[in-house]
Amino acid sequence: MQVHRELRHRIITLQLPPGHPLSENELAGELDVSRTPVRESLLLLADEDLVRVFPKMGSFVARVDPQRIADAQFVREAVEVASLTDAVEHRTDQDVRELRELLEQQRAAVDDAERFFELDEAFHQRLLATGGHGNAWRTVEQAKAHLDRARRLGLRTVSPVAALIDQHSDIVDALLAQDLEATVRALRKHLRAVFDDIERVRAESPDLFVDGEDERPIRKSITVLG
């Protein structure tokens, strides 16, 4: 459903930030559709825990839930790390060249958070493909909607892009050396850096996060730096 895809994209890319109120009428007007597909899409997004619906209050973008992030990170790390055995054993010079080309593109995008995010995705997809498991990226992508919101929050507020590129470079260097232990260590360190980012963002902007069991909306404007 096109409306569902568009609203999901806006939530994951923080165009609709955590805690943002969602008006069926306003969204229908923006998307030039009736309220019915908007309402149906919000229900689907609620099933993914990306939207919260509160009786007599309305619908809101779900605030960030660290447990959902941890679950998504577990799935992602399990898949990507498992692929490294094959990647280290079967990597070719072409694989390494393509990964290094992505690193150069990332260095050119240090001032564009969204472009860097796209190139980061391309890097990890290419790393899976190096191990012969490129199709597994679809599974990773489906699992990490909550994680991607947290990653973008980190990129836009606290996480230095240059450090992430250095981590990518460490992964490629270890892969080139065909050192499985070092490649796994470098990838785990990189993937788990998001947890440090979350804590820093949470300290600066606690309203973006679920506070214990209380997920009721906070009726004030929440701004995410772009």
Residues 149, 101 share a domain: yes
Phi and psi at 211, nearest 5°, equal -105, 95
Query: pTM value?
Result: 0.87
Q: How confident is the model at residue 118 (pLDDT cuts 50, 70, 90)?
A: very high
Q: For residue 74, how many other CB atoms are within 10 A of its CB?
A: 12
Q: Counting Cβ atoms within 10 Å, is residue 71 exposed (0-12), middle (13-18) or buried (19+)?
A: middle
In a domain, 218, yes or no: no
pLDDT value, residue 11: 97
CA-nearest of 148, 207, 109, 160 to 14 is: 148
Q: For residues 153 and 159, what is the distance between their CA atoms, to the nearest angstrom?
A: 9
How many domains in the chain?
A: 2
> What's the rounded mean pLDDT across residues 11-32?
95
CATH of the domain at 147: 1.20.120.530
Q: For residues 151 and 158, what is the distance between their CA atoms, to the nearest angstrom?
A: 10
> What's the rounded mean pLDDT across residues 110-130?
95
Residues 42, 6 share a domain: yes
Q: How confident is the model at residue 154 (pLDDT cuts 50, 70, 90)?
A: confident
pLDDT value, residue 81: 97
Span 171-190, pLDDT tens digits:
999 999 999 999 999 999 99
Structural domain range at position 42? 2-62
Span 181-217, pLDDT tens digits:
999 999 999 999 989 888 888 898 898 998 765 566 5
Strand order in the sheet with 51-54: 21-22, 58-61, 51-54
Q: For residues 78 and 81, what is the distance between their CA atoms, to the nearest angstrom?
A: 6
pLDDT value, residue 148: 94
Contact yes or no for 81/187 (Cβ under 8 A): yes
Phi and psi at 188, nearest 5°, equal -60, -45
Phi and psi at 153, nearest 5°, equal -60, -40
> What's the rounded mean pLDDT across residues 79-86?
97
Residues 58, 71 share a domain: no
pLDDT value, residue 155: 83
Q: For residues 112 and 189, what is the distance between their CA atoms, to the nearest angstrom?
A: 23
The average confidence (pLDDT) of the chain is 91
In a domain, 114, yes or no: yes
221 pLDDT higher than 70: no
